[in-house]
């Protein structure tokens, strides 16, 4: 990619792992514990791309003696990643459906091979560590990554099966935080290791 490096137009790739999995070094390939979302990564995301949404709710204090706010307070915030996954393979679909277990039934005499999973998600929502990775805005040959220690990964919306429409899973990755150890980090590589 060419300069200016800070201008990016490239979909991130999303990886998930068990909560507590160490994040990869910025210049290293993710370890096998990190599962790429979509069997072919961002080739399985539709062209709305990967959206990282920073939402917040604020409250402005306007004192009686003024008509303008004098102080702003943040009352809520969220980090939400959205994408449409065009991978309806059993592993991808089941992971998004609350990390359901896939049971593989191999073909045998009189039995067709198949794989199935339970679509009932229940009240307990599966948590994952999530890694989002793409080119660095400092040097496009290097990496940037969002490190999210805890997040809900879910399908929230419609899966449309119709002519002329690519069926996709609307994936939402909602960060959660129990303590400062769960704080997400945006890490941008600026130089190669010596």
Partner 1 sequence: MKKVTWNGAGNLLLPGQKDPIVSGDSAEISDKAADELVAANPGLDITVEDAGKSDKD
Backbone angles phi, psi at 88, to 5 degrees: -100, 25
SS3 5: coil
- Report the residue number, 106 or 164, with the smaller CB distance to partner 1: 106
Nearer to partner 1 among residue 38 and residue 135 (C-beta) = 38
| Residue among 89 and 141 whose Cβ is closer to partner 1 | 89
Region of 151 on the Ramachandran plot (φ > 0 left; ψ -120 to 50 alpha; else beta): beta
Q: Based on DSSP, count helices (H) and strands (E) in the chain, helices before strands.
A: 1, 10
Residue whose CB is less far from partner 1, 100 or 144: 100
Q: How far is the CB of 181 from partner 1 (least distance, A)?
A: 28
Q: What is the dihedral of CA 18, 189, 81, 184, to 10 degrees?
A: 60
Q: Which residues bind partner 1 (CB under 8 A)?
A: 91, 94, 101-109, 111, 113, 115, 117
């Amino acid at each position: 990619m060419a300069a200016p490096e800070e201008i990016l137009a490239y979909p991130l790739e999303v990886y998930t792992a068990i909560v507590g999995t160490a994040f990869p070094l910025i210049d290293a390939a993710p370890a096998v514990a990190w599962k790429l979302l979509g069997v072919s990564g961002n080739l399985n995301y539709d062209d709305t791309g990967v959206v990282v949404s920073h939402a917040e709710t604020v409250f402005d204090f306007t004192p009686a003696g003024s008509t303008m706010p004098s102080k702003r307070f943040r009352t809520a915030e969220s980090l939400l990643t959205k994408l449409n996954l065009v991978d309806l393979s059993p592993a991808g679909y089941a992971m998004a459906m609350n990390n359901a277990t896939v049971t593989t039934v191999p073909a045998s005499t009189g039995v067709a091979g198949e794989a199935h999973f339970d679509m009932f998600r229940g009240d307990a929502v599966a948590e994952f560590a999530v890694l989002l990775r793409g080119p660095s805005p400092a040097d496009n040959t290097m990496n940037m990554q969002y490190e999210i220690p805890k997040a809900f990964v879910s399908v929230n919306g419609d899966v449309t099966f119709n002519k002329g429409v690519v069926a996709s899973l609307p994936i939402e990755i909602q960060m959660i935080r129990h303590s400062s150890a769960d704080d997400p980090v945006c890490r941008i590589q600026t130089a190669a290791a010596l």
